[in-house]
Structure 1
Amino acid sequence: MVLFNVESVKILWDTWSVRGLIILSLVLQSFLILFAPFRKQMGGNSVFMSSLWVAYLLADWVATFTIGLIFRAESNDIKALWAPFLLLHLGGPDTITSFSLEDNEFWIRHLLQLMIQLCASVIVILQSIRHNKLLLPTLLVFIVGVIKYAERNIALYRASFDHYGDKNPNVSFLEKTAATESESESHYLGIMLRRELGPHGTLKNLLVGPLLSPFRRNFTRRAFLKRQSRDVLNIMEIELSLLYEALYTKLPVVHCKIGYVFRIISLGCTFGALMSFMLITKHYKLGKFDVWLTNSLLISAIALEFISIGLLFFSDFNLLDHYYWQGNREIKFLCWKVEFDHMSTGVKNRRWWSKKIYLYNFLTNHFSDCPSWLNKLANFLSIRISNLKVRTLEDQEWRFIFDELIRKAQEAETVEAGKRLCLQRGDGILDDDGNLIWSIKELDYTESLLTWHIATEICFRVDQNTASDNTKYKAISKLLSDYMLYLLAMQPALMASVSIGSKGECKRAYDEMCRLAYNDLNAFFVGRDLNVQSLAEAMFNDEAPTSYVLQVCGYERTSLIRGARMLAHQLMDQNSGFSWELMSKVWVELMCYAAINCRPNVHAQQTSKGGQLLTFVWLLMNHLGLGTQFSTEQLSQTGGTELGQDQP
C-alpha cells in the first residue's frame, strides 16, 4: 500500500512552495519589526531571545531560498512581482539589522548577497518584460527593495568597528559648542546627550579605542559629579539605548535628511504599486489567491512602513534630537517644548533597562532542588544545573554604588590618579587593614572573588541578628557577591579580561576551582545532614584554619574553602557593623575592577541582551574620569581649545 504519491507531492510543492514561503517570509518580517525592540528590556529571557534568533536567521534564509525557487521556475507576471518583494524582505525591518556585533563585521558578505539577489531579481523581471502586464508595480516594488537592502548594508557598514567612531577623537562636539559652566543645567545636560548622536560621541570612541581628550573628561566629570544618582542612571540608560540603536538597527541611517527622502520615496512607491496593481487586476485576470496574496503583501508593506515611521518618531534618536542653533552659542532643548528635568511623566519614566540582576550562589548551588535523576543526567552530560535567581535592582542599592564611585572620582582629579584608582580591586579599601589584605594581594582576581564570595555567604548566614543600621550594608554585600559570581560562572565573556584570558580559558579555570572547592567542602558532610544554613554555621564554628594552603602529596595547593573560612573569621572579628560596611565597599571595588577591565565591545553586546549592571558601572566610571582611555595631553591634536574657552 502506497502511503503517498510522489508525483502528487511534487505537484503540490511546485504549486504552493513559493506562495507558502512568501507568506512565511511576511510573518517573520512582521514578528521582527514588532518584537525586536523589546530585546533591550527582555534580553535576559532565553525563550524570547531564542525565538528572535530563529526568526532572524529564518528571515534571510527563507527570502533567499524563495528567490532561488522563482529564478528556477517558469517565469510569469505574478512571480516577477514577488521577486522584488523578497528583495524588500531581505532588507529587513528597521528595528533589527544584526543580532550580534559579529554580524556587523560581515557587511561585505551582505553586500555581495545584495548584488547576487539584485541580479537574480533583474533576470526574473527581464524574462517577463515583453509580456508583463504588471511591469509598473513590479518596478516600483523593485525600487523599494533596493532602498531597503541598501539601507541595511549601510547600517551594517557603519556599525562595524572598522568604520565606527571618530577619526579625530580630540575634536569633540562639546568643544565645538564651547559650553561653559554658566549655562543652565538643562542646556549643559542637553549638549552632553546630543553629542552621542554625532560622529564624535564619547561612547563610540570608548568602543573603538582611541584616547579621549582631557577636555571631554573634565566636561562629563563635572556634569556627573553635580547630579543625583537617579538622574545619572536615566542619562546612562538613554546613552546605552542610543548605542543599541546605532549598532543593531537602521535608525542612524534613516534618521537623516537623505534617509527621510528615501523613506518618502519607498512609501510613495509602495502606495503606487498597490494602486496600479488594483487597477490592472480589474482588467487582467489572475488567480484569486495570487491576487489576495499580492494585495496582502502590498498592504502589509505599507502597514509595516507606517509602524517603522512611528518607531522612528518615538525612537531615542528622535527623542533627543530636538535642538536648534541660535546664533553661534545658544542651544535649546525642544523635546515636546519642555526641558529634560521637566519632561512629562510618560517620557521620563520610559523603560530603557529592566534593572534585572541575576544572582548565583556557590553554597546554595551545592543543594540543588532538582530531582536526583536529573542531577545524575546532568552530570553524565557534563551540564551544570544551577539555582539561578533574578531580582530587581533597588534605588538605594544603586545609590550606594553611585556614592562609592563619586567618592573615588573626587580623588581622581588627574588622568593618572584615575588610572591608578582603576587598578584597585579591594586593596583601596583594605590598605589600612593588614589582616585582610592577603585575600587581595596573594590571590589572583578569580580566586579572590570566590574567596570573598564564600566568606560573605558564611558571614551572612551566621550573622542573623544584626543591628538595623547594618541591614543596608549586609544586603548590598550579599547582592554584589551573588551577582559577581553569576558573571564569573554564567557570563565568562564579561570576566575573561580580568581573570585568565579567553572566554573558554576563564570557564575552564572557574570549573576547576569549583571542583577542588567542592571536594574540600565534602569534608563537612561526613556524618552530618546539613542544609545551607547549617553548613555555613559548621564552616564558621569548626576550628578556624591558620593558613589557606594545603599540603597534598607533598605539594602545596591553595584551598578556597580554607581561605574563605579564615577570611570569614577575620571579618567577623571586626567591630560590630564595620565588617559589613567594609565588605560592601570591597565588593564595589571588585565590581569596578571587572567593569573597567572588560573589553568595551563585550559591554556593547550587553545592550541587546537586557543590559548588565556591570556595563552601567563601566560607563559611569568613564564619565567620572576613572577610565583608562583618557589622554594626558592638554591640547587636542588638531589644535582645539579647552572647554570653557570661546572658539574663534
Structure 2
Amino acid sequence: MENLAKLYYDWEIQLLVLLSFAIQLFLFFTGGLRRCSIKLHVWLSIWMAYLGADMVAVYALGYLSRHEDAHPLAFFWAPFLLVHLGGQDTITAFAVEDNSLWLRHLLNLAVQVFLAAYVFWKSIGRHNVELLVSGTFVFIVGVIKYGERIWSLRCGQYGSLEESPGNQYQLPWLVEIFEELPVERESTDQRTYYCDTVCLGVCSMPTVFSIFVSRMAKLRFRKHPFKDRFVGIKQNLKVLEIGLGIMYDDLYTKALVLRTRGGVILRCMTQICSWIAFTVFFLGCDRGRYSRVDVAITYSLFVGGLFLEGCGLISLMASPWTLAWLKARKHEKLAWLSLSLLSSGLIGWWSEKRPLWSNAVGQYNFYGWIAVHSEQHKPIRSFSQQCMTMVIRMATLFGVEKEKVFWISKLLDREHIKVDRVLLKCLVDRVDCPGGTPGALPTIIFRCLRGDGIGPLAEGFILDAIGYHVLTEAHLRKYPRSDVDAADTNALVEHCQKLSRYMMYLMVASPSLLPVDESSVAMLEWCRGDEVGRDWVRHAESRADTLQLGKETLEEIKGRWMQLIIFAAIKARSETLAAQLARGGELLTFVWLQLGFYISKDEEPFNFNRPELTWGA
C-alpha cells in the first residue's frame, strides 16, 4: 500500500492535468447531445463532467501552488488549467439556472487568474526565456477563454435577454437574404431546399426572440418584414426546429458571443496566441532538462488544445448563422462548404434528416392509478414498468396503500415514445387555423372550457384534463387493436392515446409547464380517497360508455385534446420552456412557438387575460 500511495503521489499532478483535458474533450463532443437526447445516462454523464471539470482544474491549480518544486515543468501547466476553466464552445451552462451564476464565475476568474499567475511568477528565473514567453501566451488564451465563458453566461441569463433590445437578431443582411428566398419555397434540388429552410429559420429569429422574452405587443405593432410569411409554409416544422435550436445555442453555448464582433476578435486572438505559444515552446524547450513524461504531457496539451480550437472553427462554420451570412454576402463556394458541414451532422448536429430535438414525447397512464379495475388492462411495455408492477404487488402484500408508492411510479412508470410527425403537424396546423378560420383561437378554447360536446364540464384545467383522460382511456379500450382493415381508425386511436397520456406525463413530470394549482399526488388522493373525486371518475367513465364507436367520435376526442394542449401552451411560461430546451425539448414548445407566430400576425391585440381564457369563468 505504501508503494502504491507513493506511486500515486509521484504521478498525481500528471493524472490531474490529463484528466482535466480528457473532460474538456468529452464536453466538447457531447455538450450538444442534450438538445436531442432524453436518455438518463447521457444527461448524467454530461452533468458529472460539467461539474467535475471545474473541480479538477481548481484542485490541480491548488496542487501546483503548493508543490511547484515537485516537477520542474509543472508550472507550465497552470495556464492550461486556466484554459480548461474557460470551458468549451458547445456547453457553457448545463441548466438555465447556471447562467444566473455568472457573477460567481467572475469572482472565480479573479481568484484562479491570481493563483495561476502566482504559480507562474514563482517559476521566473528557473527556466529559459522562450519557455516563459510561451507560457505567457497560453496564460492570455486562458484569460480570454474564461472571459468568453462569463460573457456567454451573462448573455444567456434570462434577465439579460429581457433587458436586451434584441439587436443581435435585428441585422440588415437578414432582410436582404429573406427577400431573396422564394415565396413558395419549393425546389427539386434537396440541398437548395434545405438551404432555404435554414436561412428561413435564421430569418425567423427576431420573431422567436420576441416570443421568448414575451414582447408580442411590440412585435405586433411594429413593421416587421418576416412574421407574415412564417405561418402555413410547407417546411414549417423544420423552421420551428431551427429556431428552437438557435435559442438553445444562445442560452447554453458560446454561440451568441461568437456572433458578435468582439467575440470574433477574441477568438482570432486565442488562435494566434495558441499557435505562437506552441511554436515558441517547440523551438525553445530544452527537452534534455525535463522529464520525457512531462514534455509529452505538455505536447499533448498543446496539440489537444489546437485540435479543439480547429474543431471549434469547423463548428462555427457549420452554423446556420454562418450559412445565412455567406448567402447574403454572395460567397457561394463558402456557403456550399458551410452547408456541407451543416448537413453532415458530424459536429454541428444540424443534419437535414436528424431532428434538432429529442423527437420524443412522454407518456403516463394516470387512469391506471385512479381506476381500481384497470390494472388487468394495463400493458407492460418496459423493464421499468415490470419493476413497478412488482413494487405494487409487494406493497400490497405488506399492507402498504397504493398511493404511498405513487412517487416511485412517477419515475418508473412513465415512458417516452417517438413523435408521430403527422400528429405534430396536426397540432401546429391547428394553431395556425384552430377552428377552420383564422381568428377562431379564443372561441375554440372558450368552447373547450364550457365543456361543449363529449367532454366533462370545466371545473379547472387539471380536473378537465384528468376527467378527459379517464373518458379517453375508458373509451379507447373498446376498439380492437388487431383490426388491420381499419388503419385510419387505429391511427386515430393511437393519436388520442398519445395526446391523453402526454398531458398526464406533463402533470406528473413537469407540472410547471401546465396551469395547475394542485399536484398530481393531491389529485390522486382526491380521485381515490374522496367521495366527490370517486364520483368524478365514475361520471367520466359513464360518459365514455355512452359514446358511439367510430371515426367521428375519435376525431372529436383528438380535437378536444388539441384544444387542451393549445390552452396549456398559451398559459406556459417562456422561462420554463427555455429550460426544457436543455432536456431534449417538449412537444408543447412547438405548439407554444407556433402560437406566438400566430398571435404576432394578429392585427388586433391578443389579451391572454381575457375572461373566457380563465379557468372557472
TM-score range, shorter chain: 0.7 to 0.9
- Post-superposition Cα deviations, 1:447-503, rounded to whole Å, max 9, x if no partner, equal 1111111111111101337955544432211110111111111222322xx011xxx
| Candidates 60, 64, 67, aligned match of 1:66 | 60
Alpha-carbon spacing, 1:629–1:310, altered in 2? closer, same or farther (3 Å): farther
Alpha-carbon spacing, 1:448–1:382, altered in 2? closer, same or farther (3 Å): closer
Aligned counterpart, 1:426: 448
Does the residue aligned with 2:498 lie in a helix, a strand or coil? helix
Q: Is 238-247 or 158-167 further displaced after alignment?
A: 158-167
Contact 2:133 2:277 in 1 (8 A): yes
C-alpha deviation, 1:161, in angstroms? 1.7
| Candidates 94, 99, 109, aligned match of 1:104 | 99
- After TM superposition, the structure 1 = structure 2 runs for residues 30-429 of structure 1, keeping only pairs within 5 Å, are 30-42=25-37, 44-74=38-68, 77-133=72-128, 134-165=131-162, 167-168=164-165, 173=170, 177=175, 184-185=182-183, 193-195=201-203, 201-210=206-215, 211-215=217-221, 222-228=228-234, 231-282=235-286, 285-324=289-328, 335-336=335-336, 348-364=352-368, 366=375, 369-370=386-387, 374-375=391-392, 376=394, 383-385=407-409, 386-408=412-434, 411-413=437-439, 420=442, 424=446, 426-427=448-449
C-alpha deviation, 1:22, in angstroms? 0.8
- Post-superposition Cα deviations, 1:45-85, rounded to whole Å, max 9, x if no partner, equal 01110010000000011111111111222357522211111
Aligned counterpart, 2:585: 611
Q: CA–CA distance in 2 between the matches of 1:49 and 1:611?
A: 13
Q: CA–CA distance in 1 between the matches of 2:582 and 2:258?
A: 20
Does the residue aligned with 1:206 lie in a helix, a strand or coil? helix
Does the residue aligned with 2:289 lie in a helix, a strand or coil? coil
Contact 2:80 2:142 in 1 (8 A): yes
Q: CA–CA distance in 2 between the matches of 1:260 and 1:174?
A: 17
Q: CA–CA distance in 1 between the matches of 2:116 and 2:177?
A: 52
Q: CA–CA distance in 2 between the matches of 1:348 and 1:590?
A: 31
C-alpha deviation, 1:90, in angstroms? 0.2
Alpha-carbon spacing, 1:588–1:334, altered in 2? closer, same or farther (3 Å): farther
| Candidates 519, 537, 544, aligned match of 1:561 | 537
Q: Is 126-135 or 154-163 further displaced after alignment?
A: 126-135
C-alpha deviation, 1:12, in angstroms? 4.5
Q: CA–CA distance in 2 between the matches of 1:565 and 1:352?
A: 39
C-alpha deviation, 1:347, in angstroms? 5.4
Amino acid at match of 1:222: D
Contact 1:217 1:623 in 2 (8 A): no
Alpha-carbon spacing, 1:236–1:21, altered in 2? closer, same or farther (3 Å): same
Q: CA–CA distance in 2 between the matches of 1:128 and 1:180?
A: 57
Amino acid at match of 1:426: C
Alpha-carbon spacing, 1:151–1:592, altered in 2? closer, same or farther (3 Å): same
Alpha-carbon spacing, 1:427–1:347, altered in 2? closer, same or farther (3 Å): same
Greater relative CO, 1 or 2 (CA 8 Å, sep 6+): 1
2:525 aligned with 1:515, yes or no?
yes
Q: CA–CA distance in 2 between the matches of 1:260 and 1:9?
A: 48
C-alpha deviation, 1:517, in angstroms? 3.2
Amino acid at match of 2:493: K
- Post-superposition Cα deviations, 1:171-229, rounded to whole Å, max 9, x if no partner, equal 984999499999732599787533456xxx2222323333332256986553234412x
Aligned counterpart, 1:455: 471
2:478 aligned with 1:473, yes or no?
no
- Post-superposition Cα deviations, 1:220-246, rounded to whole Å, max 9, x if no partner, equal 553234412xx1000001001100110
Compute the RMSD of aligned alpha carbons: 3.8
Does the residue aligned with 1:322 lie in a helix, a strand or coil? helix
Contact 1:190 1:333 in 2 (8 A): no
**Structure 2: segments with no counterpart, 5+ residues:** 186-194, 370-374, 379-384, 608-617
Alpha-carbon spacing, 1:321–1:488, altered in 2? closer, same or farther (3 Å): farther
Alpha-carbon spacing, 1:317–1:220, altered in 2? closer, same or farther (3 Å): closer
TM-score (norm 1): 0.77
Contact 1:224 1:623 in 2 (8 A): yes
Q: CA–CA distance in 2 between the matches of 1:604 and 1:273?
A: 40
| Candidates 499, 507, 510, aligned match of 1:491 | 510
Q: CA–CA distance in 2 between the matches of 1:489 and 1:239?
A: 28
Q: CA–CA distance in 1 between the matches of 2:295 and 2:443?
A: 68
Amino acid at match of 2:101: F
Alpha-carbon spacing, 1:182–1:409, altered in 2? closer, same or farther (3 Å): farther
Q: Is 377-386 or 202-211 further displaced after alignment?
A: 377-386
Alpha-carbon spacing, 1:274–1:462, altered in 2? closer, same or farther (3 Å): same
Q: CA–CA distance in 2 between the matches of 1:217 and 1:17?
A: 62
Q: CA–CA distance in 1 between the matches of 2:144 and 2:499?
A: 48
Amino acid at match of 1:402: V
Q: CA–CA distance in 2 between the matches of 1:321 and 1:587?
A: 41
**Structure 1: segments with no counterpart, 5+ residues:** 501-505, 521-549, 551-555, 634-648
Alpha-carbon spacing, 1:402–1:204, altered in 2? closer, same or farther (3 Å): closer
- Post-superposition Cα deviations, 1:529-556, rounded to whole Å, max 9, x if no partner, equal xxxxxxxxxxxxxxxxxxxxx4xxxxx5
C-alpha deviation, 1:564, in angstroms? 2.0
Query: What is the total number of aligned residue pairs between the two structures?
Result: 561
C-alpha deviation, 1:15, in angstroms? 2.6
Q: CA–CA distance in 2 between the matches of 1:493 and 1:35?
A: 28
Alpha-carbon spacing, 1:237–1:358, altered in 2? closer, same or farther (3 Å): same
Amino acid at match of 2:504: L
Runs of 4+ more than 6 Å apart: 169-172, 178-183, 187-191, 331-334, 337-340, 343-346, 377-382, 626-630
Q: CA–CA distance in 1 between the matches of 2:162 and 2:176?
A: 21
Alpha-carbon spacing, 1:298–1:174, altered in 2? closer, same or farther (3 Å): closer
Amino acid at match of 1:448: D
Q: CA–CA distance in 1 between the matches of 2:257 and 2:339?
A: 27
- Post-superposition Cα deviations, 1:607-634, rounded to whole Å, max 9, x if no partner, equal 221121111111111111279999579x
Does the residue aligned with 2:302 lie in a helix, a strand or coil? helix
Alpha-carbon spacing, 1:84–1:354, altered in 2? closer, same or farther (3 Å): same
Contact 2:527 2:534 in 1 (8 A): no
Alpha-carbon spacing, 1:459–1:37, altered in 2? closer, same or farther (3 Å): same
Amino acid at match of 1:487: L
Q: CA–CA distance in 1 between the matches of 2:444 and 2:116?
A: 55
Percent identity for Structure 1 against Structure 2: 26
TM-score (norm 2): 0.81
Q: CA–CA distance in 2 between the matches of 1:179 and 1:302?
A: 34
Q: CA–CA distance in 2 between the matches of 1:301 and 1:447?
A: 56
Q: CA–CA distance in 1 between the matches of 2:413 and 2:367?
A: 10
